[in-house]
Structure 1
Amino acid sequence: MAKIDEARALIYIMVTVAAADAQLSDRELNRIGVITDTLPIFEGIDRDVLVEQANNCTAILADEAGLETILTLVHDTIPPRLYETAYAVAVEIAAADLHVEQEELRFLQMLRDALDLDALVIAAIEHSARVRFRLPSQD
């Protein structure tokens, strides 16, 4: 398997969580685009690279051991200083369509385990996403 850099590993995470429920929603795809357009870690990544990496990721996921391959690749590529960033972008994509499916929750659990994240960090990242994606009052 070809070696990838940190930014591409983060793209793999976002694509994997978006594909976890077998439905890549427009909201999830748009959010991936927004994240890659705005976060400094993705500087120099254009839409062509994003599409290429998304296709590479989905090809890996099509394999029987694809999910484990992605998690190993991510763990081996991303330095510990970006573990929280990795989890934050995953949560952002999971929350993008305003409902997190069981498959997405399972992937998030697997990612937390692979990155050995602190429980307080996890809670803070998840709370932040809930606040950002809260719907307006239905009064």
Structure 2
Amino acid sequence: MTTDLPSFSPGDALVAVMVATSASDETMRTSELVAIQRMVDHLPVFSDYDDSRIRAVSQTVMSLFEEEDGLDALFGLIRDALPERLYETAYAMACDVGAADGRLYAGEIALLAEIRHEFNISRLHAAAIELSAQVRHRTL
């Protein structure tokens, strides 16, 4: 599969980061899927995005998760498509998906650390993004 990978648009890359975050703990919760759809529907970065692409991007992510070096291939696709100025945006979206159900699971924590590393996000910026996601998803 990794030899015949599709190319991603910047919007696809952002969706892939969110789907990967949701799938990273082996359970894609409804709250996470709703968070992804809500962001695609409302964030300005997706204003020209064809949301019918979500399914194909999700299938690519899930297929890559089944491969031995699939995560590396996924990050390669994402880096090829995503402008560096959107790396922190992608991380913020990943944090929002992870926080959508009220807690972070081990797989999500590990993937977020990998995203920080792959996108070279400073620890200070990452902490600010993580805290903002946490406070946005608090409940009464």
In the superposition, the TM-score normalised over structure 1's length comes to 0.92
Provide Cα deviations, 1:55-76, integer angstroms capped at 9, x if missing partner. 2221222222111111222123
Alignment partner, residue 28 of structure 1: 32
- Whole-Å Cα distance in 1 between the matches of residues 12 and 53 of structure 2? 9
Please report how far the alpha carbon of residue 102 of structure 1 lies from its aligned counterpart in structure 2 after TM superposition: 0.8
- Structure 2: which 5+ residue stretches go unaligned? none
CA distance in 1 between counterparts of 2:99 and 2:90 reads 14
C-alpha distance in 1, partners of 2:88/2:96? 12
Matched to 1:33, the amino acid is Q
Deviations 1:16-39 (A, max 9, x none): 010000000000011000010011
Alignment of 1:100 onto 2:104: yes
Rounded Cα–Cα distance in structure 2 between residues aligned with 1:61 and 1:46: 24
Distance 1:98 1:121, change over 3 A: same
The sequence identity of aligned pairs, in percent, is: 33
Work out which of the residue numbers 116, 120, 127 in structure 1 matches 2:120. Answer: 116
Aligned residue pair count:
136
RMSD: 1.2
Question: Of 39, 43, 46, which aligns to 2:47?
Answer: 43
Q: Which residue of 2 aligns with 1:71?
A: 75
Gaps (5+ residues) in structure 1? none
1:126 paired to 2:130: yes
TM-score (ref. length: structure 2)? 0.91
Structure 1 residues 5 and 46 mapped into 2: Cα distance closer, same or farther (>3 Å)?
closer
**Matched letter for residue 62 of structure 1:** E
What are the Cα deviations for residues 50-107 of structure 1, in whole angstroms up to 9, with x where unaligned?
Answer: 1222122212222221111112221232111101101000000000111100110000
Q: Secondary structure at the match of 2:7?
A: coil
Residues 2 and 80 (structure 1), Cα distance of their counterparts in 2 relative to 1, 3 Å cut: same
Of stretches 23-32 and 40-49 in structure 1, the one that deviates more from structure 2 is 40-49
Amino acid in the other structure paired with 1:45? Y
1:49 maps to a residue whose letter is R
Cα distance in structure 2, aligned partners of 1:44 and 1:59: 26
Which AA in structure 1 matches 2:137?
Answer: F
